[in-house]
Each structure stands twice: as structure tokens, then as C-alpha cells.
Amino acid sequence: MTEAIDLGTANEFIPRHIGPREADTANMLEQLGYDSLDALIASVIPESIKGSSVLELSAGLSEADALAKIKAIAVKNQQFSTHIGQGYYGTHTPSPILRNLLENPAWYTAYTPYQPEISQGRLEALLNFQTLISDLSGLPITNASLLDEATAAAEAMTFCKRLSKNKASNAFFASQHCHPQTLDVLRTRAEPLGIEVVIGDEREITDASAYFGALLQYPASNGDIFDYRELVERFHAAKALVAVAADLLALTLLTPPGEFGADVALGSAQRFGVPLGFGGPHAAYFATRDAFKRDMPGRLVGVSVDRFGKPALRLAMQTREQHIRREKATSNICTAQVLLANIASMYAVYHGPQGLTRIAKRVHQLTAILAQGLAKLGLVVEQQSFFDTLSLATGSKTAALHAKARTLGINLREIDGERLGLSLDETTNQAAVERLWQVFAEPGQSPDFAELAATVASQLPQALLRQSAILTHPVFNRYHSETELMRYLRKLADKDLALDRSMIPLGSCTMKLNAASEMIPVTWAEFGNLHPFAPAEQSQGYTQLTTELEAMLCAATGYDGMSLQPNAGSQGEYAGLLAIRAYHRSRGDDQRDICLIPQSAHGTNPATASMAGMRVVVTACDARGNVDIDDLRAKAEEHKERLAALMITYPSTHGVFEEGIREICQIVHDNGGQVYIDGANMNAMVGLCAPGQFGGDVSHLNLHKTFCIPHGGGGPGVGPIGVKAHLIPFLPGHEKMARKEGAVSAAPFGSASILPITWMYITMMGGQGLKRASQLAILNANYIARRLEEHYPVLYTGSNSLVAHECILDLRPLKETSGISVDDVAKRLIDFGFHAPTMSFPVAGTLMIEPTESESKEELDRFCDAMIAIRAEIHAVERGELDPEDNPLKHAPHTAAELVGEWTHGYSREQAVYPVASLIEAKYWPPVGRVDNVFGDRNLVCACPSIEAYQEA
Ligand SMILES: *Cc1c(COP(=O)(O)O)cnc(C)c1O
């Protein structure tokens, strides 16, 4: 042997995750005038916060070793046969959906469809979701998902508050038949707003006028199906609005809420093919009447037209959203649950109306057989009518029955000491029913399944049987073979640009690699098959995973405690402000309710502050884009007595490490406030500096940005919060956790089943790899800024002329000289095969570019070349060589259909679609031309239009 071979498992992951090769890194550094990465970073990070990093993580593991390690954790989760129900049910994820959608980067690496021309595929899938929800709920206006059923119920409460004509009341009625976790989140969300939640039995309401709104559950959490028609009329007579949390599978057989007068229907789409996942992520739905469409929380897809008058989809009515309306927004929700909504929508596409109804009837029939058998065994089934859930009065035998069930590998619902519950689902079969009987039977006793099956009748209430048809649209009736579904999913994915095709340089969104090894554990049954309320001893794997992950994230941020419960950044902000609020109150500082927010803040910040019952005071930014410290100090002192918090993003939303951050934090602390550091830009900091060490009291992280959870086309996300020790007692609690109060999500660990992604990322990168990722993210951003600054001014830099991990290009001057807008440039990038950078945030008329560390130098250069070529076209417009109206920018993006039609433009076809030669061998063709923003809002259609509408156009 001549050569020494390393016999350990090489960790190749770090250079797999990081785009630039060693030689590229050296080359880029040279162009920036630095001789090492350390030297560059030393210039970028301000003196005042240097050395604040506390990252002490072990060395990274190889992909194989990390997968083996997480497998050993996963197998500690025990998969029982689970009949707990309570909003979470077993389901079969159809294999073609698992493989071609859930595990397919074309679907999971896409961004929120804000650029409609490159998002028609997922917009269509979401429109199918909205059509599904609209059909099943009987209400015409639906959104493209909310975070979970409990937060959707909380949104419904504030929705009713805004819209109810009973302005005298401050009380919201919530039925005791709602799922307990829903009631908990309602209580959390009501308190800071001064809303009184009255929980009671709706059958005993005497004075409906005491309430501005009400929440009912259908079927009820315990399994009963109540006829709410008369009650809804009474609420309406008292000018109160009614929201109904409804089970989608039951709605295939029952009269939908929209038909018995409900103003809102909401719930979870989990049981439409989305694994239990220990509580999430799952898509919640929200539907309402047409009159209330402008108050809808979340995003909704609408039908508009493109430049040629052809139907094209687009996110509608964005003027309601937090990025426009800020503290007056209808909701703070930003990232939603798009991937999960798409799974649910495809589940309905695949099964179709007959398939769904068949599943529902089967579940109901099995439940009816189960009930009969239980009665034969002498048990008291409490329901007269039910769909899939029964509650049993088991009295003093309850605890023993649970124990016996567990010895048989079965989980039942623990209602209270005297009663237990059981729910069936799509995965239940005859054997499962017989096993359930065994739990309650004496030895030798067993009802005869076949005999009962032959005689049992439907136990759905006759008066509430569904009469209206569902899912008549062709999309739900044509893809029922696997071949057809596979091709439909491929067809839709091919319409879109996701990370599997090109860089997505969206500033503030951190569209980095979502490595395959990180994704693989997500669909393991050991993580997928756990009910969030399964007994703790069965979820030891999750306990280890979450405990380790909390410690890793504390190490990365310099905080002392971490909560993984919030299921998006917006929810983390909310949980963080609640912690601050509770802290002040614990010290008798009840009056502290002012939240300072710099004007450059992300829209979720002010929207969240108002949800947390705080008053927003906006502070100015100076000419260099930094927080105007004098203005901040003046406002902090002016509101000294009532100052609750500052919400500040770091590095700033302007892409700069502000030097004054320590001083800013000090000013707020000196005036009695707490510092909330929005951690969306953590990708510039991990391993370099730590918010918990330079003045932050609490931060949220976006695991779907910095920590590799894919964006999913607009969710799922995870928005954990890190806090300093004094705020630990005020982290979100849960009925299933040590601290019971203050739940912000339905499940104790929110979107638990995607936490393995972040665990894998940190485990494979280790402390050194994470630090290198931040360094490369900064290098890549500065390289782009340097290459483009002579073509487009870089709006803000630090005192050393460097940016952090993103840079803002100022296009406003071009509007003056050429008439070309930021929109035109964004759309022209599509012709070059790129997703646009972030547009007009945080400054109107600008583009914010964030390359991330995962993009190679080649890809950065390809992007820069496109931007430079576009600048040359703008020059041509400025010089009169291209017509100010008829030019490739104004007409971008160009479709293939346009190319083969009559060519009427003053520029060539080649310039339109092959502006650089490299596109000839790999070209992305947008399926529609530029989408009309206004048309779709004026003519809101948010369910699938008829096929004729497409044919006419
Ligand atoms: C993305 C982002 C948020 C919101 O996070 P979501 O997960 O989308 O709710 C908040 N602040 C900043 C600065 C962000 O970039």
C-alpha cells in the first residue's frame, strides 16, 4: 500500500450543502479584496457584537451516520393502534401523492406563489383545495390554508369580532363540545384583546345577545351530532355570527355548515392524506360567506387573466394582508400550510366524490358496528347519532380499561376519569374493530362482526343527511388512475419554478438547500404515525429529538430556553410578545403595552403586536437605512412608563449589520422594555454572533429559512422562540405539558414531524459547518453586490461598504430614466429562467437579493449575467433603441404560445426568449403571460371555474 486511506466515515456534507468550491471562494474573496473568509467576516460584523457567539456544537456527522443516529431516535417512538381522535385521525397517504408530491422537490422547494407566472401549478393545486373546501363546507369563499384548527378557530373569533353587528358585546361563546386544544388556544388569543371567552353547553343558551359570536363543533368532539339550525337562527337574530369547526370527512355525508346558516366554517384537512406526525404540520381551512371576503385571514387564490386575456391564477386581495395593512391587517399569518393543503387537495382529486363518500360511509358503518358490539358487551354508548366517534360511560373501570387497551397496543381517548372516547378512521378495518371489542370483553366474549354488519343501520341523523352534491368539477373526476394522477402532478410541477430548477434569490426568505438526507426521516412511519396526545411513554423518540433540538438552537442563538410550539414565524412573534407581556404583568407592570417597531419592519411585526394587545409606535430609519437611534431614544423615553417592547430585525431588513444594535437594546432596557429580535435573518449570524448575547430577550427563528425546512410553496414552517432565562416561565404551555396555559398551537410541539429536518441539518453541519454556512452566505451576498453595483446601485451597506447576507438594489432611478419598473425586471428574469428577488420590501421600488450559501459561484454568475443583460436592455430603452412600451421588459414573460403566433413586436423572437445563448439548451417556459393584478381582485373567483370559462378564453 502506497497511499494512506482514512477509514472513518468522511463528512462530505458540509461541502455538499455549501455551493462554492474552495477555488471559487478564494476567487470571490479576491474580487472583494480580502485574503480570507475570516478577514471578510471581521469587516462585516460590527466591533460591538464580535465574539458574542456561543456556538458550542460537536463536529458534524456524515449523512450516513446522521441518518443512523436519527433512526435510533425514531425507533423509540411506539406505533400503537390509535383511536384518540380529537381532531387527528389515521389516514392513508396515497403512495403516488407521497412519492410525486410530498417527497418531490419540485413541490416542496417552491416558494409562496407571489410570482404567479411561475406558480400556476401550485396555484391550481391550491384552487382545487379551495374548491374542495367550498364544496364540503357549503360556503363560497375559502382561503388556501391556515396553520391548524385551533388557530383557525382563534382567527374566526377575531373575524366575528370585526364583522359582528352586535358591537355592545365583548363575549365570545365557545361550545364545551369543541376540541379542548381549540378552547385552550382561544383562551390564549382572547385574553390580550380583552375578549371574554364563555365556554358552555350551547343547548342551555338563553340569551344569545350576550355574544358577538359563537364557535360550535360539528360533529362534536365527543362524537355527538347536534342539529344547530335553530341555534344559528337565534344567534343571527341577536346579530351574532356563528363559526362552526367541522370535520371534512363527515361533511361528505352531513348537511354542511353553509347550508345551516354558519357564517364561518373551519377545521383541519389532516385526515385527507396527511400523516398524524405527532400533531403537524397539517393544513387548516377557513371558509366564509361572500359578504365577508375582504376580511378573510390568510391567503386566497383567485382567478384572473393574463396579458392575452387567458385565465391565469394569482393570490387575490393582498391588500388585506399584513405586508400592506400592518397593524391593521386582518391577521398576522404569513407562511401557511401550502404543501399540506396540496396533499389534501390531491387526496380529493385522486379519490373523487364517490371515493371520499365511500371512505366516509365505511368509517361510519364500522363505527356503527363497533357501537352495536359495545352495547352487546354491556357498555353505555353516550351517542344517539354519531359519525366516527363514540364516548363511553365507563365509570370506575376507566383507568383499568386504558391500561388493558395499552397492553393490546391500543390508545383510547382519555376524556375524564369516568369516560373514554374512541374514534375510527380510514385505516380502521374489521380486525381493528374486533380488537377494540376485546378491550371491553370478558375472556371468551366476542360480538359477531358479520352478524352485526348485516343488520346495522346508519346512525347519522336523518334530518342532517347531506342532499347537495360534492366535487362535481371535472378536476375531481378525471385523475382516478395512478397513471393519470402521476401525470397531473408532473404537469402542474412542470409549470412552476422551484429550487430544483434555479436559484430563488428572495431576500429575507433564505431559499437554501433542503438536503435529501434532511428530508428522508420526515416520511418515516416512526415520526408520521404518532398522535400528538399519545401517552408520553410512547413518544420517547420525539422527546429526545425535541430536547436535543432545543439545546442545539439555544447554542446557535445564545438563549437559555426554547419553545418549538409556534408553527410559523408569525406565531413565534406572537408567542414571544405574549412572553414579554406576561413577564411585565408578573412584575405588576400591567400598563406596559407600547411596542416600538422601526418603519423597515416586516409586516408581521406590527400585525402581531396588535394581536398581542400592544399599541404600535413606529420609529424612523436614517438615510443609511439604520434605525434612527435618536428617534428611538426619544420615543423610548417618551413612553418610558408604558414601554413593553422593541421589535427589531437583525441584521436589519435592509441587509446590514447595524453597529448600534447593542446601544439600541440598552436604550430599550433602560426604559423598562424588553427586546424582541426578529430572527428571520439568522442565516447571517449562526456561529458568528448571537442575539441572546448582544441584547435580545427573545427571538423567533424561521426553521423554514435558516434551518433548512423547505418552503413547501408557502408552508409548512416552524417558528420556535428562544428566550433569556427570565422569560422561560412564560413560554407557551399546553394541556399536555408542564405549563398548562398559554398554548399558541393545537399540538404541544406544533409542526413536530418536520423537526427532524433541522435536527439533521445541525447534526451534519456541526458547529464549524454552521459557522462556515453563515460566512459563505455573507460572501455570496457581497459577491453579488460587488458584481452588480456598477449596474444597479446597492441601496444600503455598512460603514465598510459591505452588506450582510442580502443586498437591496435600487431600481427607482430607472423608472425615471426608462419607465421600466421593478415589476418589469422581475418578470423579465422569468425569461432568463429565474424567480425574481423580493420586490419592494422593505423599500418600494427595490429588489432584495439573498443568494444563501448553497448557491454555487456558477449559479451566482448566471444570475448576475441575467441582471446585467437586463440592465443593457434598460439602457437600450433609455437610449431610444428599444421602444418605451414595446420592449422585452414590458412584455415579459414571453410564452411559447406567443412565439408561434403572429409576432408583432419591434424586437426579435430570439431576444424575447433566448436573451442569452445558454438558455437554448435548458429553457423554462412560463405557461401564462403577465398576470393582471387588478382584474382578479375586481372579479373575485376563488373556486375552480368551469371548463367552459377556459374554453371561451
Ligand atoms: C419571513 C419573515 C417573517 C414571518 O415569518 P413566517 O414564517 O412567514 O410567518 C417575519 N419577519 C421577517 C423579517 C421575515 O423575513
pLDDT of 8 reads 67
**What is the number of the ligand 1 atom nearest to the C-alpha of 571?**
9
Distance CA 712, CA 697 (A): 30
Alpha carbon of 320 to ligand 1 centroid (Å): 17
Residue type at position 524? W
Residue to mutate (ligand 1; options 570, 600, 608, 721; most atoms within 8 A of CB)? 570
Q: What's the pLDDT band for 4 if we cut at 50, 70, 90?
A: confident
**Which residues are registered as beta bridge partners of 721?**
563, 700
Residue 905 buriedness (CB in 10 A; 0-12 / 13-18 / 19+): middle
Residue type at position 750? G
Q: Is residue 700 a contact partner of residue 794, using CB atoms and an 8 Å limit?
A: no
pLDDT of 294 reads 93
Alpha carbon of 701 to ligand 1 centroid (Å): 9
pLDDT of 416 reads 94
Distance CA 208, CA 206 (A): 6
Q: What is the mean pLDDT of residues 885-912?
A: 96
8-state DSSP, 254: B
The yes-or-no answer to whether 539-764 and 779-895+907-918 have a common fold is no
CATH of 539-764, one of 3.60.21.10, 3.40.50.720, 3.40.640.10, 3.30.565.60: 3.40.640.10
Atom 14 of ligand 1 has which residue's CA nearest to it? 680
What is the number of residues in the chain?
A: 953
* Average pLDDT of the chain to the nearest whole number: 96
Alpha carbon of 119 to ligand 1 centroid (Å): 20
Could you tell me the residue ranges of all domains in the chain?
Answer: 354-463, 539-764, 779-895+907-918
CATH of 354-463, one of 3.40.190.170, 3.10.180.10, 2.120.10.80, 3.90.1150.10: 3.90.1150.10
- CB under 6 Å to ligand 1: residues? 334-335, 508, 568-570, 602, 604, 649, 653, 678, 680, 702, 717, 719
Residue to mutate (ligand 1; options 508, 509, 839, 848; most atoms within 8 A of CB)? 508
Q: Which three cell numbers stand for residue 543?
A: 422527546
Residue 419 buriedness (CB in 10 A; 0-12 / 13-18 / 19+): middle
Alpha carbon of 334 to ligand 1 centroid (Å): 7
Q: Which three cell numbers stand for residue 941?
A: 373567483
pLDDT of 953 reads 56
- Which one, of 680, 639, 645, lies nearest residue 665 by Cα? 645
**Distances from the Cα of 686 to the Cαs of 554, 555, 559, 725, 804, in angstroms?**
11, 9, 13, 20, 13
Angle at 337 between CA 315 and CA 523, to 5 degrees: 140
**For 94-108, what is each residue's pLDDT tens digit?**
999 999 999 999 999
Q: Which three cell numbers stand for residue 180?
A: 379542548
Alpha carbon of 796 to ligand 1 centroid (Å): 21
Whether 947 has a pLDDT exceeding 90, the answer reads no
Q: What is the mean pLDDT of residues 501-515?
A: 97
Residue, of 11 and 257, whose pLDDT is higher:
257
Q: Can you give the C-alpha Rg of the chain in angstroms?
A: 28
Q: What's the pLDDT band for 949 if we cut at 50, 70, 90?
A: low
Alpha carbon of 702 to ligand 1 centroid (Å): 7
Q: What's the pLDDT band for 9 if we cut at 50, 70, 90?
A: low
Atom 3 of ligand 1 has which residue's CA nearest to it? 569
| Beta sheet of 380-381, edge-to-edge order | 81-83, 410-416, 419-423, 389-393, 380-381
pLDDT of 63 reads 97
Long-range contacts of 542-551 (CB under 8 A, 24+ apart): 542/77, 542/278, 542/749, 542/752, 544/73, 544/76, 545/70, 545/73, 545/755, 545/756, 545/759, 546/749, 546/752, 546/755, 548/759, 549/755, 549/758, 549/759, 549/762, 550/720
Alpha carbon of 337 to ligand 1 centroid (Å): 14
Whether 487 has a pLDDT exceeding 80, the answer reads yes
Distance CA 458, CA 474 (A): 30
Whether 51 has a pLDDT exceeding 80, the answer reads no
The 3-state DSSP class for residue 460 equals coil
| Backbone region of residue 613 per phi and psi (left: phi > 0; alpha: psi in -120 to 50; beta: other values) | left
Whether 623 has a pLDDT exceeding 90, the answer reads no
- Kindly report the number of other CB atoms within 10 A of residue 224's CB atom: 20
Angle at 528 between CA 523 and CA 530, to 5 degrees: 165
Q: Is residue 449 a contact partner of residue 435, using CB atoms and an 8 Å limit?
A: no
CATH second-level architecture of 779-895+907-918?
Answer: Alpha-Beta Complex (3.90)
Angle between helices 120-137 and 338-376 (to 10 degrees): 30
Atom 15 of ligand 1 has which residue's CA nearest to it? 508
**What is the number of the ligand 1 atom nearest to the C-alpha of 719?**
7
Close Cβ partners of 953 (under 8 Å, ≥ 6 residues apart): 305, 309, 310, 311
Whether 838 has a pLDDT exceeding 80, the answer reads yes
